[in-house]
Chains A and B, each alone.
Chain A
């Protein structure tokens, strides 16, 4: 069978894929820069761990409980802050992330600075694979639906989307809630795999790491999130000997990617704007041609 080392690597890739997928919905598809995603992960992780520890609930219930708890906070923080645009939103999410970390560091129930110990190990490969598949399936369905088109419209031009009758605040809050839900799910899996939680695991750098995964893989591309999460989980493991360089490389990767290939490895469209000129207009053109052809065809018969 698989050696424990590779098993751990695969499980971490899976958890990071869930994190990257959920962050991609917020940044890649809706164009809202959130740099506090690790906060939602920590909310889900702590909540599900506490549910298991204190109430001895079945794993699936505490996982869902943690995810819902994170989603609740995603909506709670989303309602006031998503009226803000762009940079202000980024800063508000950053502030929220820091507040969550500081509160976790000082509360008694979360173990404070000592951390939360003794969480039973319940996350197995099967759970992680299932969770990744379910997350990918649901997010894919959302993106391909009317909601997804509304989110992409908000990314492309919020004012134009508003003018088209899209309630942008509603859709942004929805996207934040869904993103936070799956981040909480990832957190719950993480908690029951690591068996130990500390606020330091969910600091600003963790959010940046998740941002890197999304950006590297490709903003607005589901497979990209998987690729980004895999690369940024496996490569640092291989580069253990130069672990000090890891964050340095992250920084350089972010700058270089934005300069050379802002759409990421698998991204089809640039983070913003390019969609308008390239694939989207082509898509409309082919649609128009098809419908014209159909109509002219039906005229003949």
Chain B
């Protein structure tokens, strides 16, 4: 039973981790909490839903297209709401981000209505039993694809030239631009990658929980951010660790304390971590932040 709970936490946590990566990458580059990230996640879920149900696109193609569409939305938000404010105060940028978040979620409410949509499962529900836990095909898919995306992200950041440029911009914007790095281009790419991961998480949660609503971005968005802070914001392995820890803490809290306080567990964990180690679990030792 306990192992089963751990497994459930791991699956939930891997989606949080994907959301947290988007927050952490953006924060690492421009030191801004992208409040609209939860809405990008919601947008990804809706694009996936529409592609699969209305346009009958094959599931894996829909998954990739939803990621691409989310990336585009992320770039647009950055261009319209954040770029004009890059030289102004951080408070102004943060308020603009909150505005973008409210605008997008209410736009979605207006267009899609408030009734939840049913997300079709890509394949028949098959369940595998092991001695310790039961896992369904969808759960394996969620775990594997988030693992793959995280590996891909790590490779991009560590091994490619763009990744190197991203790390340079995160360390010192002015010096990086003196070295001939186009800051705007790198910020755009960062938003694109982070948003694509958020969109991917949206589709996965869609097939995992089977429902999609316009307001679905608020809570997971907040929790993704909590995960990023718990792991150490601006730190990529930290976001992965924070997401998985948060998922496990939430599932265990719901199982052993009280399911009504499920959402409070995440925020209590946040405040606890902020008090004990404000820089997050992996915050200090790793210097690079993307």
Contact = CB atoms under 8 A, between A and B. Distances in A.
Chain B associates with chain A: yes
Contacts of B91: 27, 31, 33, 86, 219, 271-272
A258 B85 contact: yes
A252 B103 contact: yes
Contacts of A86: 90-91, 94
A91 interface: yes
Given A92-B274, A271-B92, A259 B106 contact: no
Task: Kindly state the interface size class of chain B when it binds its partner.
Answer: 35 or more
A106 B262 CA distance: 11
A205 B105 CA distance: 12
Contacts of B27: 87
Contact of B271 (A81, A87, A250, A251): A81
Contacts, number: 135
Interface stretch (B64-72, B136-144, B176-184, B221-229): B221-229
A31 B90 CA distance: 10
Interface string A218-258: 01000000000000000000000000110110111111011
Contacts of B122: none
Interface string B236-277: 000000000000000000000010110110011011001100
B218 A258 contact: no
A81 B92 contact: no
Task: Determine which residue in A86, A94, A255 has the highest number of CB atoms from chain B within 10 A of its CB, and name it.
Answer: A255
Contacts of A84: 274, 278
A78 B269 CA distance: 17
Interface residues on A, range: 35 or more
Contact of B100 (A27, A211, A215, A251): A251
B152 interface: no
B94 A248 contact: no
B274 A81 contact: yes
Contact of B106 (A92, A248, A253): A248
B96 A255 contact: yes
Contact of B94 (A33, A81, A83, A106): A33
B149 interface: no
Interface in A77-125: 80-81, 83-84, 86-88, 90-92, 94-96, 98-99, 102-103, 105-106
Contact of A99 (B101, B102, B264): B264
Contacts of A270: 88-89, 92
Nearest to A80: B275
Contact of B278 (A83, A258, A259): A83
Contacts of A219: 91
Interface in B86-137: 88-96, 98-104, 106-107, 109-110
Contacts of A81: 271, 274-275
A171 interface: no
A219 B106 CA distance: 25
A95 B32 CA distance: 18
Interface of B: 27, 31-33, 80-81, 84-85, 88-96, 98-104, 106-107, 109-110, 218, 222, 225-226, 229, 258, 260-261, 263-264, 267-268, 270-271, 274-275, 278
| For the complex of A and B, 5 pairs with smallest distance between CB atoms | A254-B99, A251-B103, A272-B89, A251-B102, A95-B267
